[in-house]
Amino acid sequence: MTCSDVISGISATITILQESIRSLDDASATSMLPKTLRTVRCQLPIVVDIIQTLLEHSDSADSFCCLSLIVDNCSGHAARMKRILEFVFDGDDTWEKRYAEAIRTFGDITTVESLLKSIAEDIRSFIMHNPVSDDHLKRKSELDEIIHEMRSLMAFSFQIRRGLCFGRAPYLASGHFVGRESQLDEIRRLESSRMSQKLHRLVFGGIRGVGKTQLAIAYGHRFSNYYESCFWLDASSESTMNKSFRTLATLIFQYQDIRDLHERDIMVRVHEWLSDATNTRWLLVFDGYDSLEHFDIETFYPSASHGTVIVTTRRPGLIAGQKVQVSPLENVEDRLKILQTRSGRNKSQFGMSLIVTVIAF
C-alpha cells in the first residue's frame, strides 16, 4: 500500500466517522438517544481528532507502513458503523427495536460500541509502537478510557422493551378472574393520577388466599398496553427474589451471557435499565412479600424517578406505598363463579349456593 493509499484510507475513515456523528446529532435533535448511542456520540469526536493527529504527524516511511496495517480495519469498521446507524434511524419502529434488528441481522460483532472499540484498539496499538506526537501518552490514555467504556456497554449493550412477561407467575386462565372489575378500574385511576418524576408504589394488602396475586396478574394483563414492560417477581424470600432478577435479566439483556454474574452485579445492571431516562413505562409485580423480617424489599427497588411497582402482602401497614385493600368478595354470585371455575362443577352440584353463603372468598 502506497503512502497515497494510506492517506486516502485514513481520510475516508475520518469522513465516514464524521458522517456518523452528524447522523447521531440529527437523531438526537428529535428525540433522546438510547444510552449506548449517546455514549458513542460523545466518544466519536475524540477518536476522529486522534486519527487526524496521526495523519498530520506521520511523515516517515515507517509510520505510513504501520498505518497501512490498520487502515483497512479502521475504514471497514467505520463503514459498518455508518451502515448500522442508517439502519437504526431509517424506519418506523423505535430506535431500540431497530437496533435489535440490526444486531440480529449483522451479528454482535457489528454493534456500534464493538466497532468503536475495535477502531480505538487499532489506533492505540499504532500509537504504542509509533509515538508520532508529543502528547501520545495522553492520547493513549484517552483511547484506554474509550475502550474501557465501550467494553462496559458491550457487556449489557442492548436493552429491549419486553412487553408482558408473567410467564413465571401463577397461572390465571382468562375465565378464572371473577369480580373486582371496579377495583381494577380504581387501580388504573390511581396509576393515572400518579405524581410525575416519582416511582409509583402500590401495595395490595389482604389475608392469605383472598386474591391479591390474582388481582395483580389480572391488572398486568388488562392494562399491559399502557406499559412497555411488565414483570412478575417471586418476593416470598430473598433467594427467590435473586432468582427472579436473574430471570428478568435474561429477558431484557437477551444478547449477553449472564450465567457467571453475581446476584449483586445482575441487580445493578437491571436497575440501570429500569432507571434509564428512555425507559419509563414499566411495571414490576413483587408477589408474596410477607417475610419482612428476613429481607428489605426496597433494596430491590431501582432508584428511578419513574415506573410502577406493585407489592402483594399480608402486612401492608409495614410497607411504604399507596394501599389497595383486597377484601373477600361480597357478591354471592361472584363467589359461586369462583367455585364453579375452580371445581369444574355447576352451581347445582353439592349445594354450592349454600356453601358460598358461609365461606368468604
3-state per-residue secondary structure call for the chain = CCHHHHHHHHHHHHHHHHHHHHHHHHHHCCCCCCHHHHHHHHHHHHHHHHHHHHHHHCCCHHHHHHHHHHHHHHHHHHHHHHHHHHHHHCCCCCHHHHHHHHHHHHCHHHCHHHHHHHHHHHHHHHHHHCCCCCCHHHHHHHHHHHHHHHHHHHHCCCCCCCEEECCCCCCCCHHHCCCCHHHHHHHHHHHHCCCCCCCEEEEEECCCCCCHHHHHHHHHHHCHHHCCEEEEEECCCHHHHHHHHHHHHHHHCCCCCCCCCCHHHHHHHHHHHHHCCCCCCEEEEEECCCCCCCCCHHHHCCCCCCCEEEEEECCHHHCCCEEEECCCCCCHHHHHHHHHHHHCCCCCHHHHHHHHHHCCC
Q: Is 289 in the same domain as 334? A: no
Q: Is 145 in the same domain as 173? A: no
Residue 177 to residue 326: CA distance in whole angstroms: 14
Examine the fold and report which residue of 155, 189, 205 is the final residue of a domain before the chain moves on. Answer: 155
The number of distinct structural domains making up the chain is 3
Task: For the chain, 361 residues long, give each residue's pLDDT as a single digit of tens.
Answer: 777 888 888 899 999 999 999 999 998 887 777 778 889 999 999 999 998 888 887 766 667 777 777 888 899 999 989 988 888 887 666 666 677 677 666 654 467 888 899 999 999 888 887 765 667 778 889 999 999 888 877 665 555 677 889 888 887 665 555 567 888 889 999 888 776 678 999 999 999 988 899 999 999 998 999 999 999 999 999 999 999 999 998 888 755 657 767 888 888 888 888 988 778 899 999 999 999 999 999 999 998 889 999 999 999 999 999 999 998 876 545 555 555 555 555 555 545 555 545 454 4
Examine the fold and report which residue of 155, 181, 216 is the final residue of a domain before the chain moves on. Answer: 155
Q: Which amino acid is at 268?
A: V
Q: Is 336 in the same domain as 320? A: no
Residue 93 to residue 55: CA distance in whole angstroms: 40
Domain that holds residue 336: 328-361
Residue 58 to residue 66: CA distance in whole angstroms: 10
Residue 266 to residue 77: CA distance in whole angstroms: 31
State the pTM of this model.
Answer: 0.57
Q: Is 83 in the same domain as 11? A: yes
pLDDT the model gives residue 348 = 55
Q: Is 177 in the same domain as 242? A: yes
pLDDT the model gives residue 138 = 86
Q: Is 142 in the same domain as 8? A: yes
Q: Is 318 in the same domain as 332? A: no
Q: Is 332 in the same domain as 320? A: no
Q: Is 62 in the same domain as 112? A: yes
Q: Is 49 in the same domain as 84? A: yes
Q: Is 337 in the same domain as 318? A: no
Examine the fold and report which residue of 100, 122, 155 is the final residue of a domain before the chain moves on. Answer: 155
Q: Is 291 in the same domain as 207? A: yes
